[in-house]
Structures are given as structure tokens and as C-alpha cells.
Chain A
Amino acid sequence: MMKNLTALFLAVFSTICWAQEKANDSLETIKLNEIIVIGNKPSLHLKQSKSLTSVEEYLSKSSKVNMIKRGSYAWEPIINNMATERTVITIDGMRIFGACTDKMDPITSYVEVSNLAEATIASGQQASCHGAGIGGSVDLKRNPFSDKNTGWNGSLNSGFESNNLQKIIGASLGYNDSHFYTHIDFMHRDADNYKAGGNKEVRFSQFTKYNISASVGYFINQQKLLEASAIYDKANNIGYPALPMDVSLAEAKIVSLSYKYLPKSNFVTNWETKLYFNSITHKMDDTKRPSVPIHMDMPGWSDTYGYYSRMKGKFEKHSFLADLNGFYNKSIAEMTMHPSDPNENLMFMYTWPDVRTLYNGLSLEDNIKISENDHLRIGANLGFQNNTIANDFGLASLRIFYPEMDASKNRFLKSFAANYTKKNNIFEFGFGLAYAERAPSVSEGYGFYLYNSSDFYDYIGNPNLKNENAFEGNFSTGYKTSQLTAKITGSYFYFSNYIIGKIDPNTLPMTIGASGVKRYEAIDNAKILNTDFNLTYDFLENWQFKSQLTYSTGKDNDGNNLPFISPIKYSAGIDFKKENFNAGISVLGNLAQNEFAKTYGQTKTPDYLIFGLNAGYAFHWNQNILKLQTGVENILDRYYTTYADWNKIPRMGRNIFINLTFNFH
């Protein structure tokens, strides 16, 4: 009751604020994406209250993004209440796929905040150039070292969090000159088990990782830039308290070579071509758990080779983009079980039977400025995908379920979108329609006995699945003055051939303790609706009030609730910024999830409300900045769990953090 009232109060309060006119950074109304700034850029340092937090924390500031948490590490981002099989997540435009059949390694876990400048989040088809998805996309953009001032630059970072004794240390060094630049950065994190509210330790939630990245760029001339970059990320001994296994190794090698050309042309303004390769190794480990029914080794590997060539141009009222992209991915995962009798043969099978995915696509986008106030964006994405099982053993395994299946399957994926926005000085209004298709993921198409520890079923892939598709309708309304910005957006997705696991009553499970087997099937239709409201209000010169409210619903063809749909989520905060000092207070909560997916094995989640405080100070001298940030999260040490916590593991209790960063020039 109290929580409902608080939510209502916040929602109402945030809608009736008015204030005097004041100059304000304008929201770029043409861009439909949401940009979350991550980096440690000196000019923006005051806008982050906790600059050394994880990449996932940054992403969850978006109203479109939620996180499924299986531990305190590697959260899976969900956009518009859709998980990674329905979205496209890229690092600087590079496609990259996790190597874990249980989704313990979303690719956001393979980068660090020190690698990134910003994350561009697009809802639905509003930026579909990186691949075929439905819910949206996230592009984690790396730091563009090319636009730093000449000379040496660098930083030292250190942080500490009290709850799980997380120690963070990082450093970076770069050199820029008129002909080339080079940059290297390093970050290391080490944390023990965390404690939920009431000092309840969550065992097996520790992690250790380090990340090194380097880039080198050479300016061939004023307009041409050649850049090579690499990221190496390695994490050991990562605990996943929500799962029956932990991870002994999660390692990523990401390399790319790109050529950027800014022609002095009236037509083409920017042409970038990139070649890339990434390799992920992921090894699950159950040796630290006290008692396992049978000891298993579960390593997985995912290698991706890819390219893109993206051209941007202008012609009269049109700003267009053409992007040719493709990738080749090899995903393979094994399971080896050790029987208790050491003389008995090992039990071996492929859980991902060496699936090769080859995708080539063309993405076209045109932004038309019909008039000063009217803007139309149209986009299309066409792609060809081939999936092949390259390994005979793997193919024979899947043929146990699908004796007639071919080793290879071709798909044609298309999407179209149109968005219209109209704005004047204070109001902005937009609506859009889109149609998109996506291919089943490796697990959905070719998974072999993948155990889901949240609903206790073994999942079997289905290579005969048709492309899932959705019609999307979206709208947005905004009101903007120099002091107040308010925006409501909503998207409605109507799916056909919605891919979800359905119980197969005739098949016995394999995993000890599983309730049965589910096969990925396509249901006739499903619907997801997401709406959100964002407000910022600047007052009294140095103060800002921010609030966010989201509401979502999802239903399948029988009217049952879909799993992992967020209940009403609300947050609010007040920030104070004056010169070098900033401080803030925030509140975040969910209402109870009563619309849980009973038919899919979910249970009710209670409501929660948590409070946080933060403060920071920056010292400047010459071009150097020393920034100190500190704060308390979950001040009242509330014990809580959310709808997105796998197996209802509790989240962190009270946590005091301190971040110290030093940027020099």
C-alpha cells in the first residue's frame, strides 16, 4: 500500500512541476536513440555519480533497459523486456556472441567502463543497422581517442565498495599528435561474496577480472584515419549464486582494424570500413560447490569474424546511411560428466553442436527533414543467414530429435521501419511503425539438453523454427522548456511465430533433478507493451530533479503472462551540482509483480523500495582533474529481490562506495 502511494506520489509530483525558463542542453529530437554516457571524459565527469561502476549499471539507467541478474557479475541486458535472442548488442558495431549456453556471459561482461565512451540504446527498429533483431539494440561505443588534444594524457582510477569488498584499480595512458595517437588502458576488479540486506551473505558471488585494451590510430591525412584496436578481458573464479555452477574462466579477445574516411564531398560525409575478429572462451566450473549430483565440465567457445562498411551522406533534405555488414560465427559447447566410478567411461555430449552462422546484410536509412519541424526517418534492413552444423557428432545428436533435418538452413531476414516526428519550441510528438524478423538463436535452433535452472527444464532446440517476426507501433510525446523536459514513450509489439519453450510430455529429462524437457516451439502470437515516462526538471540554478516510471505487459497467444516482464518500475532523484561539487539522493523501486508468468514457471515477486545517496568533488589544476566520488546505495539495507533475479537471489544490501579518479594531460 505504502509503496503504491509512494509511486503514485512520485508520478503525480513529476508531472505537475513548472519552473522559470533557463538555457538548457537540448535533447536531439531527431535521434531516436537514447545515449548513455559512460566515459571518463573530463568535460562530463560531474554527470556520473559513480564513474567506476560496471557497464551494466550504466545501461540500466535507461528506461528501456532492465537487467536479468544471476549473480553480482555479468548481467544480461533486456531491452523492451526482450532478452538477448531478440536484441542486437554490439561493441563499436562489431557483432559478438557469448560462449555460454546458460547466458552467464552476456557480452557486456567482456568490456569495461574504461574501454567505453557511451552506449547507444535503440528501441525496436529505430537503429537497425547492426543486425536483425526485434526488441532493440545496444551499441557500446569505444572511446574515440582521435579527438583528444595533442600530448600525453592518462588516468588513474581506484575504487572500493564495502558490501562485497570490491577493489577496483585501473590506469590508462595515451599520446596524441597530429599524425597518430595511441592509447592503452587497464582495469582490474576483485570482489568477495556480497551481502544482501540484513547482512545475509550470498555465497558463490565472488569475481575477479582484468581488462586491457589498446588502440593505435594513424592519420593518413586530415580526412583519412586508420585505426587498430584490441581488447583483452579475462575473468576468473566468478560465482553465480543463482545457478548450480560457477565460472572458472571467461575470456575475450576482441580485435579490429578500421579505416575512416571523411571525404570533402557534397554527397558522402563519412565512410567507415572495419574488419574484426573476436574469440570468447567460457568454462563453467562446479568444483567449488559443496555437493553436486554429478561433476560436469562445460566449456564453450564462440568465435566471430566480421566486417562492416558504413557510408553516411547528405543530399538536400536527406541524411542517409548505407551499411553493408556481415559476420561468420562458430559456436560450440560441450558437456563432459564424470561418473563416480573412475573406471567408467566419461559421459560426453555437445550442447551446442558446432553451429556456424553466416550473415550478410544491407541496412539503409534515410532521415528526411521535411521542414524545420517535421522529420521522417525510414529504414530497411535485409539480410541473408545460413546456419550449418559443422560437426557430424553434433548433427547426429540433434537428429535423435529431428531425424530428417538438414545440416544447413538458409534464412532471409528483413525489417522495415518508418518514424515521423514533429516538434516545435516546446512540444515534440512522434510515432512510428515497423516490421522486423529475427532468426532463432543458437540455443533456440540447435541447443541440446540445455538446463534452465529457473524453471527446472532441459531445453531442446528446434532447427525447423521459422523466423520470428513482429509488427511494432511506437509513439512518443515530449514537452521541453529550458528547465523542464518530460517525455512519454510507448511501444507495442505484436509477434507472430514467437519462439518460446513448450513442455514436451513425451521426453524424459537428462539433467538430474529436472522436471522435464521443453522444446523450443513457435506460438501463434504474443504481445508486449512497454511504456515509460521520463522527466528532468532543473531548478534553483544548481538543482535537478529526475524521475522515471515504466509500465510493461506481455502476453502469449493464450493470454498467459510472458516471463521476465517488468512490473511497474519507478525511480526518482535530486542532484545538486555547483562548480566542482555534486551530491544527490535517489530512490528506486518496483511494485509487486502480480502479473507473473505462472505457466512458464515464474512466481510472484514482492515490491521493494531502496534509497541511495552520493556526493563528489573534483579538484582541477592545469588540465588535470582529480575526482572523488562517494556514496551509499540501499541506505536502509533493505533485503529485496526483483522479477529479473534468476531464482529470486537477493540483491545487494547496504553498500558504501568510494571512487577516486585522476585524469592528467
Chain B
Amino acid sequence: MKILKYTALLFLSIVLFSCSSDDASEIPADETTGLHKIQEIANDTHTIELFSSTGSLVQGYNHVSLRIKDKKTNTYITDAEISWTPLMHMAMMQHSCPRSEVGKVDKKTIFEGDIIFQMAQNETEYWELSISYKINGAIYTASDKINVPASAKRTVSSFKGSDGNNYVIAYIAPSSPKVALNDMTVGIYKMKDMMTFPFVDNLRVKIDPRMPSMGNHGSPNNTDLMQRDVYGPYMGTLSLTMTGYWKINLQVLNASHEVLKGEAVTTDNPSSSLYFEIEF
């Protein structure tokens, strides 16, 4: 009798707790490994969870992952059309910032996109993120205040070009710079209006990384940043010869090689007015 009970218990536990390796119909366990939660934005029907590799948003470039949980079923949505609008509430007006579309990359429940906050919040001014999504034909919205503190080092810059347009330039990669020839990626957006910041094509970025604490010396074999595809970011090579604090001086040129913003570094001019900073 006892043996039977224990055998049954054992049999039951084996059946209940066995792992199945391949369940195409089941929602995968947790696709957020490596990501840290920033916050949740909820409405009556869904909870949207925001993630990034660091767990917080910051002024500058952010790669954001999100997933939408159905409150009733407690499962994550695998199919949705999502768009988002970050909005900064300032004293006199409101404006948005450069952002990409939101879409699935290689995961089932995770949707990803980029947001570039060109300025940080302060005591009176703050950012809000509104997400609008369509699941099975029904449209939903959710929004909440988000935290966008200032970045420790300068990674984004807004400027007015010599052509009269307003631009935003943001440092995208390398997030972990090394002493090596690094692949560098930068995003350049034009401010069409308060809400629209499309990618700008056909520009060229000259980079001149320097170490101001060490005689403002530079590094060899940097290459200009150029676009690979239309509507894409600008990529090139960033050469870093040692660890420490570097100021990456920038000059943005248009298709006719006219300088839109930034100055060359010379013995009389140690820094460009347009630059990024890294410290590693």
C-alpha cells in the first residue's frame, strides 16, 4: 500500500515537473535574460514592461525592449503593431525626440526600438512615454512618466547647422570601448518639427578623439563616419590608444563638404564645439 502511494507520488511528480524541451505552442520561459527592467506602464487591459541592458533610461541613445502582458491571461502578447511617442513637458512647450519604429527582432514576446533623448529632465521639466498598440484589430494606448536623468558624459548634442536646420547627433556605439580600433556608430537626426526627427542622409562626420588630460594627444587611423544605408546611422572607426577619458571632437559635413557644425582641433583650438565624451 505504502509502496503504491509513494510510487504514485513519484510518478505524479515526474509527470508534473518534467521539462519539455520543445514546446512550439507554449510561450517561451523568459526572454529577458540579460535585460533589466526599467519600469512598467499599465492601462486597464495590459501591462507594458520596459527593459534595457542597464535597467534605466538616460539622456542620449537608449535601446529599449518591451513586452506587453495581457492582464487577464497573464501571458505576453506575441503579435502587435506598436508605436511610441516620447514627449518632453517643458515650461513653455512640449516636444518629442528622435526615435525608431518598434518591432520584433529575434524574440517572440520582446519588441525593440531606439529612443534618443536629446535632453535630460530637471526639477520642473520631465519626459513621458506614450505607447499606442494594435492587437487583433483593437487599438490600445498607455502612457506614463519616465525617468531620464542626465548622462555622466556627453553622448548627445543638439545643434543648429550652418544651413539653418536643427539637428540632433547621438553616440550609439561602442558601448564598451576598448583600446583598439573600435567600430563607432552615431545617429544624426534633423528636427523637422517639434514631434518629427527623421534620420538625415548624405552627411559625413569627421572624428578626432583627444585626451585633454594628457596634452590633448590624439590617436591614429580614425576614419570618417559614413552611412551604410539610406535612413541609417553613420559608421566608421574610432581609434583609442589607452584607457581613460577621451573627448571625441566632431565635425559634421554635408554632401558638398561644407561644415554644418564643429571645428578642427589645432594648437590654438583644443576642442570642437561639437563633441562626445567617453571614459573607460
Bound Cα distance from A294 to B213, whole angstroms: 8
A517 / chain B contacts, CB cutoff of 8 Å: 220
Evaluate contact between A345 and B244: CB separation under 8 angstroms: yes
| Residue from B217, B242, B280 in contact with A508 in the complex, judged by beta carbons closer than 8 Å | B217
A401 / chain B contacts, CB cutoff of 8 Å: 220-221
| Residue from B217, B239, B242 in contact with A512 in the complex, judged by beta carbons closer than 8 Å | B217
Evaluate contact between A396 and B179: CB separation under 8 angstroms: yes
Evaluate contact between A346 and B214: CB separation under 8 angstroms: no
B215 / chain A contacts, CB cutoff of 8 Å: 293-294, 511-513
B241 at the interface (CB under 8 A from A): yes
A449 / chain B contacts, CB cutoff of 8 Å: 241
Bound Cα distance from A510 to B240, whole angstroms: 11
Bound Cα distance from A507 to B219, whole angstroms: 8
Evaluate contact between B243 and A345: CB separation under 8 angstroms: yes
Closest residue on chain B to residue A506 by CB atoms? B220
A27 / chain B contacts, CB cutoff of 8 Å: none
Evaluate contact between B178 and A400: CB separation under 8 angstroms: no
A424-477: which residues lie under 8 A (CB-CB) from chain B? 448-449
| Residue from B179, B213, B220, B240 in contact with A507 in the complex, judged by beta carbons closer than 8 Å | B220
A258 / chain B contacts, CB cutoff of 8 Å: none
- B272 → A minimal CB distance (Å): 16
Evaluate contact between B180 and A347: CB separation under 8 angstroms: no
A10 at the interface (CB under 8 A from B): no
Evaluate contact between B219 and A400: CB separation under 8 angstroms: yes
- B224 → A minimal CB distance (Å): 15
* A339-B213, A400-B219 known; A510 vs B241 contact (CB < 8 Å): yes
A340 at the interface (CB under 8 A from B): yes
Bound Cα distance from A335 to B245, whole angstroms: 15
Closest residue on chain B to residue A397 by CB atoms? B179
Evaluate contact between B211 and A347: CB separation under 8 angstroms: yes
* A293-B215, A294-B213, A396-B180 known; A344 vs B245 contact (CB < 8 Å): yes
B241 / chain A contacts, CB cutoff of 8 Å: 349, 397, 400, 448-449, 510
A348 at the interface (CB under 8 A from B): yes
- B110 → A minimal CB distance (Å): 32
* A396-B178, A513-B215 known; A347 vs B242 contact (CB < 8 Å): yes
Evaluate contact between B220 and A344: CB separation under 8 angstroms: no
- A406 → B minimal CB distance (Å): 16
For chain A, the bracket of interface size reads: 20 to 34
A337 at the interface (CB under 8 A from B): yes
A509 at the interface (CB under 8 A from B): yes
A293-315: CB near B (< 8 Å → 1, else 0) gives: 11000000000000000000000
B181 / chain A contacts, CB cutoff of 8 Å: 396, 399-400, 403
- A354 → B minimal CB distance (Å): 13
Evaluate contact between B220 and A347: CB separation under 8 angstroms: no
Evaluate contact between B217 and A347: CB separation under 8 angstroms: no
A341 at the interface (CB under 8 A from B): yes
* A339-B244, A346-B243, A347-B242 known; A393 vs B213 contact (CB < 8 Å): no
A506 / chain B contacts, CB cutoff of 8 Å: 220
| Residue from B218, B220, B244 in contact with A348 in the complex, judged by beta carbons closer than 8 Å | B244
Closest residue on chain A to residue B221 by CB atoms? A400
Closest residue on chain B to residue A338 by CB atoms? B213
B279 at the interface (CB under 8 A from A): yes
Bound Cα distance from A393 to B240, whole angstroms: 12
B240 / chain A contacts, CB cutoff of 8 Å: 400
* A345-B244, A346-B244, A397-B179 known; A509 vs B217 contact (CB < 8 Å): yes
B142-183: CB near A (< 8 Å → 1, else 0) gives: 000000000000000000000000000000000000111100
Evaluate contact between B245 and A339: CB separation under 8 angstroms: yes
Count, A-B residue pairs, CB within 8 A: 84
Evaluate contact between B179 and A347: CB separation under 8 angstroms: no
A315-358: CB near B (< 8 Å → 1, else 0) gives: 00000000000000000000101011100111111000000000
Evaluate contact between B242 and A349: CB separation under 8 angstroms: yes
B206-264: which residues lie under 8 A (CB-CB) from chain A? 211, 213-215, 217-221, 239-245
A294 / chain B contacts, CB cutoff of 8 Å: 213-215
A344 / chain B contacts, CB cutoff of 8 Å: 213, 244-245, 279
Evaluate contact between B179 and A337: CB separation under 8 angstroms: no
A513 / chain B contacts, CB cutoff of 8 Å: 215
B218 / chain A contacts, CB cutoff of 8 Å: 508
Bound Cα distance from A335 to B214, whole angstroms: 13
| Residue from A335, A339, A340, A399 in contact with B180 in the complex, judged by beta carbons closer than 8 Å | A399
Bound Cα distance from A335 to B213, whole angstroms: 15
Bound Cα distance from A510 to B217, whole angstroms: 5
Closest residue on chain A to residue B181 by CB atoms? A400
A633-656: which residues lie under 8 A (CB-CB) from chain B? none
- B211 → A minimal CB distance (Å): 7
Closest residue on chain A to residue B212 by CB atoms? A339
Bound Cα distance from A476 to B44, whole angstroms: 103
Evaluate contact between A508 and B220: CB separation under 8 angstroms: yes
B69-92: CB near A (< 8 Å → 1, else 0) gives: 000000000000000000000000
Evaluate contact between A341 and B213: CB separation under 8 angstroms: yes
A393-435: CB near B (< 8 Å → 1, else 0) gives: 1001101110100000000000000000000000000000000
A504-531: CB near B (< 8 Å → 1, else 0) gives: 0011111111000100000000000000
Evaluate contact between A345 and B179: CB separation under 8 angstroms: no
Bound Cα distance from A335 to B241, whole angstroms: 12
Closest residue on chain B to residue A348 by CB atoms? B243
B244 / chain A contacts, CB cutoff of 8 Å: 337, 339, 344-348
Evaluate contact between A400 and B220: CB separation under 8 angstroms: yes
B214 / chain A contacts, CB cutoff of 8 Å: 294, 337, 339, 347, 510, 512
Evaluate contact between A349 and B213: CB separation under 8 angstroms: no
B180 / chain A contacts, CB cutoff of 8 Å: 396-397, 399-400
B220 / chain A contacts, CB cutoff of 8 Å: 400-401, 506-508, 517
Bound Cα distance from A396 to B241, whole angstroms: 9
B217 / chain A contacts, CB cutoff of 8 Å: 508-512
- A253 → B minimal CB distance (Å): 30
> Counting chain A CB atoms within 10 Å of each CB, which of B211, B214, B239 scores highest?
B214
B213 / chain A contacts, CB cutoff of 8 Å: 294, 339-341, 344, 347
- A514 → B minimal CB distance (Å): 9
Bound Cα distance from A510 to B181, whole angstroms: 16
Bound Cα distance from A510 to B219, whole angstroms: 8
B219 / chain A contacts, CB cutoff of 8 Å: 400, 508
Bound Cα distance from A400 to B241, whole angstroms: 8
Closest residue on chain A to residue B240 by CB atoms? A400
Evaluate contact between B245 and A393: CB separation under 8 angstroms: no
A507 / chain B contacts, CB cutoff of 8 Å: 220
Bound Cα distance from A400 to B222, whole angstroms: 9
Closest residue on chain B to residue A460 by CB atoms? B220
| Residue from A349, A400, A448, A509 in contact with B239 in the complex, judged by beta carbons closer than 8 Å | A400
Bound Cα distance from A348 to B220, whole angstroms: 17
Bound Cα distance from A449 to B242, whole angstroms: 11
| Residue from B179, B245, B279, B280 in contact with A349 in the complex, judged by beta carbons closer than 8 Å | B179
A376-397: CB near B (< 8 Å → 1, else 0) gives: 0000000000000000010011
- B200 → A minimal CB distance (Å): 29
B263-279: which residues lie under 8 A (CB-CB) from chain A? 279
Evaluate contact between A347 and B243: CB separation under 8 angstroms: yes
Closest residue on chain A to residue B213 by CB atoms? A339
Bound Cα distance from A347 to B216, whole angstroms: 13
- A591 → B minimal CB distance (Å): 40
Bound Cα distance from A403 to B239, whole angstroms: 11
B11-33: CB near A (< 8 Å → 1, else 0) gives: 00000000000000000000000
**6 A-B pairs with the lowest CB-CB distances in the bound complex, closest first:** A347-B244, A396-B180, A512-B215, A339-B213, A349-B242, A507-B220
> Which residues on A are within 8 Å of B, measured CB to CB?
293-294, 335, 337, 339-341, 344-349, 393, 396-397, 399-401, 403, 448-449, 506-513, 517
13 pairs, CB–CB < 8 Å, chain A vs chain B: A339-B213, A341-B213, A344-B213, A345-B243, A348-B179, A348-B242, A348-B244, A349-B241, A397-B180, A403-B181, A403-B221, A506-B220, A512-B214
Q: A339-B244, A339-B245, A345-B279 are in contact. List 6 more A-B contacts (CB 8 A).
A: A348-B244, A349-B243, A396-B180, A448-B241, A510-B217, A517-B220
